[in-house]
Amino acid sequence: MRRTLILGSTSPYRRELLGRLKLDFDVMAPQVDETPRPGEAPAALARRLALAKAHAVAAQRPHAVVIGSDQVADLAGEPLGKPGTHERATEQLRRMRGHSVVFQTAVAVVCRETGFEQVDLAPVRVDFRSLGDDEIETYLRAEQPYDCAGSARSEGLGIALLDAIHSDDPSALVGLPLIRTCRMLRAAGLQVP
C-alpha cells in the first residue's frame, strides 16, 4: 500500500525544504501547545514538540506517514523561540551577539497504522558576530524574521550576522534536517530518490 505523506507544519520554510525531495505530500496544521515545560532543556523541547506535532496529525490521518518538526534556539541552555515582535527580536539578537547559539532542530516521522515512530535531533552551532545595535536594527527592518527561532534567517540577509555555521545536516538550520528526514522516510517504507 502506498501511503500518503503529510508535513505536519504551517511553516513555509519546511514546506519549501520538503519540496526539494520531489515527493508528493499534503500539509496539515498540527494543534500543539508549544509552551516549554519548567526547566525543559531546548533539545528536549524541540524533540517533544516535533513528536507531538507528528502525533497530532497522525491522530487525524492514521494511514499516512507524518513528519513533525520543531526548532528551538539554545543560548547557553536557555530556549529562545520565535520572537513574534520587533522588540523581542532586537532583545534576542543583542543577547546572541558575540556568542555561539545551538539551533536544536528536531524531526519526527510517525505512521499510526504501522506503529512506526522515529525522532532525531540535528543540532546546528551558529557563531554570531559581535553585532552593533545599528546592524541589528538594519537587519530586522529589512528581513523582519519574527517567525524564526532566534530571530535570524540564515537563508536570507541573516547570513551577514554570522561568523560560522557548524552542522552535519545543512538544511537543519532552515527548519527541516533533510538528511535525517530522508533516512526516516525510507525506514517508514517510503521511496525517496
Q: Please determine, for residue 65, whether its predicted confidence score (pLDDT) is greater than 80.
A: yes
Question: What is the pLDDT at residue 81?
Answer: 85
149 contacts 82 by C-beta, under 8 angstroms: yes
Residue 160, Cβ density class (10 Å: 0-12 exposed, 13-18 middle, ≥19 buried): middle
Which H or E element spans position 46?
Answer: helix 42-60
Clarify whether 70 is annotated catalytic. yes
Question: What is the pLDDT at residue 193?
Answer: 84
pLDDT, one tens digit per residue, over 113-133 is 999 999 999 999 999 999 999
Mean pLDDT within 10-34: 95
Q: What class has domain 5-187?
A: alpha beta
Q: Please determine, for residue 2, whether its predicted confidence score (pLDDT) is greater than 90.
A: no
**pTM (2 decimals)?**
0.93
Residue 170, Cβ density class (10 Å: 0-12 exposed, 13-18 middle, ≥19 buried): middle
Q: Please determine, for residue 98, whether its predicted confidence score (pLDDT) is greater than 70.
A: yes
Question: What is the pLDDT at residue 166?
Answer: 97
Query: Quick one: pLDDT band at residue 1, thresholds 50, 70, 90?
Result: low
Contacts of 89 (CB under 8 A, 6+ apart): 83, 140, 145, 146, 151
Phi and psi torsions of 103, nearest 5°: -90, 110
What are the residue ranges spanned by the domains of the chain? 5-187
**Catalytic hit among 24, 26, 70, 120:** 70
Residue type, 58: A
pLDDT, one tens digit per residue, over 130-187 is 999 999 999 999 999 999 888 988 988 999 999 999 999 999 999 999 999 999 999 9
* Separation of alpha carbons 27 and 93, rounded Å: 31
Question: What is the pLDDT at residue 151?
Answer: 93
